[in-house]
């Protein structure tokens, strides 16, 4: 659905520019649950970045990506003896050159298992400019300890704001 954004052009004049906002909840889909909380399948973590879940979001033709808002939540099992879990969320225009959406985060081995999240709004940057037909998002984590797992939560979302070309 097109909306319009007013942009001040100077001397009291305004330009009305058509914009488009797409909100997607692409993570952790599956069977309905009694409490409404869904997770993706648990993934065993390795010593290198292991993809917990990756999704593709198609972009609308005729628009330029101007702003992105994320509210991404995952779940990590970091209890027990062993190493910490290091995790991050990434985005890409080509599903291979990944842009970190935040600095790596360490979940200590003594911290109980549970949800981890990051959220925020920004202009596309680096390897995530939104200039292709799709954008790709993923959560990755690594650990040196055996038996650690990760998964994503269905409340994760991405809002993409575009302007008409």
Residue that is written with structure tokens 């991050």 in the block: 88
* 73 within 8 A of 116, measured Cβ to Cβ: yes
For residue 148, the domain's CATH number is 2.60.120
How many structural domains compose the chain?
A: 1
- Say if residue 10 is exposed, middle or buried (CB neighbours under 10 Å; 0-12, 13-18, 19+): exposed
- What average pLDDT is seen over the chain? 86
Place of tokens 């993934």: 43
**Token pair of 86, please?**
């290091």
For the cut 70, the answer to whether the pLDDT of residue 17 exceeds it is no
Would residue 1 count as lying in a domain?
Answer: no
Question: What confidence tens digit (pLDDT) does each residue in 69-110 have?
Answer: 999 999 998 777 677 899 999 999 999 999 999 999 998 876
Residue 1: per-residue pLDDT: 43
Mean pLDDT across 41-68: 93
How far apart are alpha carbons 120 and 58 in whole angstroms? 21
Q: What is the CA radius of gyration of the chain?
A: 18
- Residue 6 in any domain: the answer is no
What percentage of the chain reaches a pLDDT higher than 90? 56
From residue 31, give the alpha-carbon distance in Å to each of 38, 41, 47, 75: 8, 12, 31, 18
The answer to whether residue 113 is domain-embedded is: yes
Is residue 3 situated within a structural domain? Answer: no
Alpha carbons 36 and 38: distance in angstroms, whole number:
6
């Amino acid at each position: 659905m097109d909306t319009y954004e007013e942009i001040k052009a100077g001397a009291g004049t305004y330009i009305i520019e058509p914009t488009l906002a797409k909100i997607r909840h692409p993570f952790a889909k599956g069977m309905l649950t009694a409490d409404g909380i869904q997770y993706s399948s648990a993934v065993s973590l390795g010593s290198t970045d292991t993809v917990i879940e990756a999704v593709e979001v198609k972009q609308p033709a005729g628009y330029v990506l101007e702003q992105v808002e994320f509210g991404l939540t995952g779940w990590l099992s970091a209890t027990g003896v062993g190493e910490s879990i290091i995790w991050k969320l990434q985005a890409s225009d080509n599903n291979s050159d990944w842009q970190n959406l935040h600095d790596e985060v360490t979940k200590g081995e003594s911290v109980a298992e549970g949800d981890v999240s990051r959220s925020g709004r920004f202009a596309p940057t680096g390897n995530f400019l939104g200039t292709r037909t799709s954008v790709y998002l993923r959560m990755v984590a690594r650990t040196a300890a055996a038996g650690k797992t990760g998964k994503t939560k269905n409340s994760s979302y991405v809002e993409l704001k575009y302007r008409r070309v």
